[in-house]
Amino acid sequence: MDNTVGKPLDRVDGRLKVTGAAKYSAEYPLEGLVHAVIITSTIAHGSVTRVDTQEARKAPGVLAILTPDHPPKLARDPSKKQKPQDRFVHVMQTRKVDYQRQPVALVIADTLERATHAAALVKIQYRESKAKVNLLAERSRAYTPKPEAMNGRQADLVQGKAPTVKAAAQVDTTYTTPYEHHNPMEPHATTAVWDGEKLTVYDATQGVFNVRERLAALFGLPPENVRVITKFIGGGFGCKGSTWAHTVLAAIAARTVSRPVKLVLRREQMFGPVGFRPETHQRVRLQAQKDGKLLDVRHEVLTATSTFDEFIEPCAAVTRILYASEQISTSHRAVRLNLGTPTFMRAPGEASGSHALECAMDELAYTLGMDPLALRLRNHADLDPETGKPWSSKSLKECYRVAAEKFGWARRDPVPRSMKDGRALIGWGMATATYPVHRSKAGARASLLPDGRVRVVSGSQDLGTGSYTVFTQVAADALGLPPSQVSFDLGDTQMPQTPVSGGSQTAASTGSAVKLAALALRDKAIALAVADTASPLVGLKAEDVRVDNGQLVSGGKKDSYAALMKRQKLDSLDAEADAGPGKEKERYAMHSFGAQFAEVRVDPDLGEVRVSRWVAAFGAGNILNSKTARSQMYGGIVMGIGMALMEHSVVDPRSGRFITQDLADYHVPVNPDVPDIDITFVPENDPHVNPIGVKGIGEIGITGVSAAIANAVFHATGRRVRELPLTLDKIL
């Protein structure tokens, strides 16, 4: 039997999803379920002076209205963090208003319509203070963030030494990236139900165990009294990686009315209390020799965070590792504004940071009169520039070669406006992609059932990325079973503990645990067989027994999982395993790398940009499923096209409110915006990263995309637009 890992196995949950049988967090029809609607602030800074609920309370179906007049009791102050990645949540403990669309009251009623109607009848008065929402205007207040806010990284870092030779060329430019919101198809949603002192929440989250811990702490419960279930998620992109106010409010509401409560954020409420990618202003100064060798790289980041909490977009982290240079100096500064707290959004730091660095590299190539790809090859980092360590594996040169050849890069005339097709200006641009390899401790349990099938479970989450499918494949190969004989389940804190599905770490973390648990189960079954006098394998050496297609095989003799279970009269044979990172990061630097090549067609009269062709290659370790992996790259590149050309959350400077608040105003790419995308995974066998050789593919796809497009737009038009998104008003 062939191995299934790597094969384009169809999603094992695909049928459930397309038939509507897959249950999302707002789809649990619990007995007595009622509905909560959040009321959010209409000022950006100040306080709630009066909440008039008189009329609302009389409205039909209303069960309770929660306001800051009677702050819900919690065991812990939700403004205090237990872990640096926890979020300060506004759940009516204070009258203070820190940003627009902050939750300020909650209405619970028997139907969604009645809750929505009653919410409209609640009258809230505010005392308004001046709101500060303009990053550049406030830049004199910029501060240096502490490492806790930067995932342990230093805000400022100088690597190497000042160059002793004089530079032949320099670029010194500033790039701007705007606020962006995640907008998964499924908005945030929580269904909460109490049973005495036990709380169950169905929550659209990327991390069931993080939600459990946070809720347990806030309600003063032992963690085992809180169960978090997330079977299906309609996209996350990072915004579902934290426990936000609505999850806590759903649990408060359910406790208040002693009924199960469902709380779903409306689309415009996605533009407030659940995070976003912050605006950045990034100055990049590159100095190089005539032959392109980098002498001095500087990357200075200015970004926004909130007044009451802290998240810093670590844009310059990518510059610390991407190219070799005699000196690399990076810094981050942040300004506290009256906005919600920003958060992780697909490749936080790398997506916006690589935009600036990779556009600057293109500008340097033009300054030097060098090919942009040749400039990158000239500065290829053979060792990690930040730590000096060798890479666990790195296929970047092969990615450049494969993608450039498929794209036809050698035929590019570098002169701007030189390539045309009829009226259309054609532009070709490229950029490097990269993302770090992460892994955290995870557990899994595998059980052999009486019919010889295996059930594997692990807490974990499937954001729509294919976790169910790839873990089925990993377990099947380890056990010598066809995937049809393995069922995999996840998304429940009653299963073995796993980390948050963020930082592209789920396949590496949970996948390693699944493999170890499956191997442990296989070995248990083999040990039983060779000790079983009724087994054809009795007395044979365990280490000589192979597993294939449900059979245990050694020296021409065979037993099977099913026969073994029957003879042993077992209901279940179980094995559990934990897999955690070891000391591998002490010896190796671990990153995925890739190359992005874009073709754009620009209308010379209208300034309209169309991405007409895409070729990319990635070295991302072992690919568990070529179909779901390709889909991750499509998704990343499509999101990058959105970042380049349209995504922009606009803050109204008077009200401090994001005025792009639905998918009519906040544009994301649709089918006509997306060309054929040609993806190659360069084979990469990395024995160092983890037991399954996986590097993670959730985020690398978006990195370098907006830069490749901006560089292509320059090539097409001769216009260097340094402010995203590249809308036609900036190009004309």
Q: Binding residues for ligand MOS, per CB under 6 A?
A: 206, 236, 238, 241, 344-346, 348, 502-503
User: Exposed (0-12), middle (13-18) or buried (19+): which is 29, by Cβ within 10 Å?
Assistant: exposed
- Nearest of 355, 348, 347, 349 to residue 317 by alpha carbon: 349
Question: Whole-angstrom Cα distance, residue 376 to residue 615?
Answer: 17
Q: Tokens at residue 442, please?
A: 């995870």
**How far are the Cα atoms of 137, 324, 394, 432, 453 from residue 429, in angstroms, in the given order?**
33, 22, 23, 11, 51
Kindly give the pairing relationship between strand 551-554 and strand 609-619: unpaired
Which strands form 573-579's sheet, in the order they lie side by side?
A: 486-489, 454-457, 442-448, 573-579
Question: Whole-angstrom Cα distance, residue 422 to residue 647?
Answer: 29
**Between 150 and 475, CB nearer to ligand MOS:** 150
Neighbours of 111 (CB within 10 A): 13
Kindly name the residue from 350, 363, 684, 699 that is annotated as catalytic.
699
Residue nearest to ligand MOS (CB): 238
**Between 213 and 363, CB nearer to ligand MOS:** 213
SS (H, E, C) 74-92: CCCCCCCCCCCCCCCCCCC
**How far are the Cα atoms of 482, 710, 714 from residue 622, in angstroms, in the given order?**
20, 31, 36
**Between 115 and 694, CB nearer to ligand MOS:** 694
**Between 447 and 498, CB nearer to ligand MOS:** 498
- Nearest of 387, 358, 389, 392 to residue 375 by alpha carbon: 358
H or E, element range at 400? helix 396-407
H or E, element range at 127? strand 123-128
With contact defined as beta carbons under 8 Å apart, do 444 and 510 qualify?
yes
**How far are the Cα atoms of 177, 616, 642 from residue 424, in angstroms, in the given order?**
27, 23, 21
Question: Whole-angstrom Cα distance, residue 571 to residue 566?
Answer: 9
Task: Work out how close the CB of 3 gets to ligand MOS at its nearest, in angstroms, rounded to a whole number.
Answer: 29
**Between 307 and 440, CB nearer to ligand MOS:** 440
Q: Is 576 a catalytic residue?
A: no
**Between 503 and 642, CB nearer to ligand MOS:** 503
Q: Tokens at residue 728, please?
A: 């036609």
Q: Tokens at residue 240, please?
A: 């579902």
Task: Work out how close the CB of 252 gets to ligand MOS at its nearest, in angstroms, rounded to a whole number.
Answer: 26
What is the chain's percent helix, strand, coil content, to nearest 5?
Answer: 30, 25, 45
**Between 348 and 385, CB nearer to ligand MOS:** 348
**Between 425 and 639, CB nearer to ligand MOS:** 639
Catalytic residues: 699
